[in-house]
Amino acid sequence: DTGVSQDPRHKITKRGQNVTFRCDPISEHNRLYWYRQTLGQGPEFLTYFQNEAQLEKSRLLSDRFSAERPKGSFSTLEIQRTEQGDSAMYLCASSLIGGGEKLFFGSGTQLSVL
Amino acid sequence: GENVEQHPSTLSVQEGDSAVIKCTYSDSASNYFPWYKQELGKGPQLIIDIRSNVGEKKDQRIAVTLNKTAKHFSLHITETQPEDSAVYFCAAGLGNQFYFGTGTSLTVIP
């Protein structure tokens, strides 16, 4: 499977714990995006990388959130001191510069904070 | 920033009928308009897209139209089938960001 891969698919955690999600983009895709989606809403932009550089962050991304993309390949999204309001689907997407801006999404990580 | 509104939020059609979903956007600089289909438990899947220099695009039973002057675009699905049942999202692309509508839950009744 050469699509965008996300791990884990589901994560249940207690309030105050830290969680980390991983995204493996389509190989050779140089742009990687993180989105958050809550029930009944469309995806909301969090941040994006071009290769290993984090070029843009949404104001939705509080200081408790950090994303990395070492070596411009896979990416991780960490949430520290989780809150119940962090419960959502976290989606990763990738695209290729010059590929017509087409975004390809993974299946997401569903986070539930108890 | 960009604001994308999508209507209706739910839509039920009989199998074989057509379905139309409409979106409006606020920023005239937006130049790329994709449509995504999302099935339960899955990520959004790109089904069709259109750029601001094109007024209409068709791919088999799916078509998208864009009116730049009015800043609205629509998705048309003809000869609907039960497997078309899903949530559909429109989006407007501005620079490196994509702004999504709130989704339309389409149900195709056999």
Confidence of residue B53 (pLDDT cuts 50, 70, 90): confident
Of B6, B49, B97, the CB nearest to A45: B97
- Summarised one tens digit per residue, pLDDT across range A80-113 is 999 999 999 999 999 988 766 789 999 999 999 9
Whether residue A107 and residue B34 make contact (CB cut-off 8 A), yes or no, is no
Confidence of residue B1 (pLDDT cuts 50, 70, 90): confident
Whether residue A91 and residue B44 make contact (CB cut-off 8 A), yes or no, is yes
**B-chain residues within 8 Å CB-CB of A43?**
44, 89, 98, 100
How high is the pLDDT of residue B57?
93
Whether residue B43 and residue A103 make contact (CB cut-off 8 A), yes or no, is no
Whether residue A104 and residue B46 make contact (CB cut-off 8 A), yes or no, is yes
- Asked whether residue A67 carries a pLDDT value surpassing 60, the answer given is yes
DSSP A70: G
Other beta carbons within 10 Å of A77: 23
Residues of B in CB contact (< 8 Å) with A are 4, 6, 32, 34, 36, 41-46, 49, 89, 91, 93, 96-103
Please give the average per-residue pLDDT across B69-88, as a whole number. Answer: 97
How high is the pLDDT of residue A100?
67
Confidence of residue B41 (pLDDT cuts 50, 70, 90): confident
Whether residue B96 and residue A41 make contact (CB cut-off 8 A), yes or no, is no
| Distance, CA of A14 to CA of A113 (rounded, Å) | 5
Mean pLDDT of chain B: 94
A-B contacts (CB, under 8 Å):
54
Q: A14-18, A59-63, B15-19: which has the minimum mean pLDDT?
A: A59-63
Cα-based distances in Å from B61 to A57, B12, B76: 37, 17, 8
Q: Which residues of A13-41 are buried (b: 16+ CB within 10 A; e: fewer)?
A: beeeeebebebbbbeebbbbbbbbbeeee
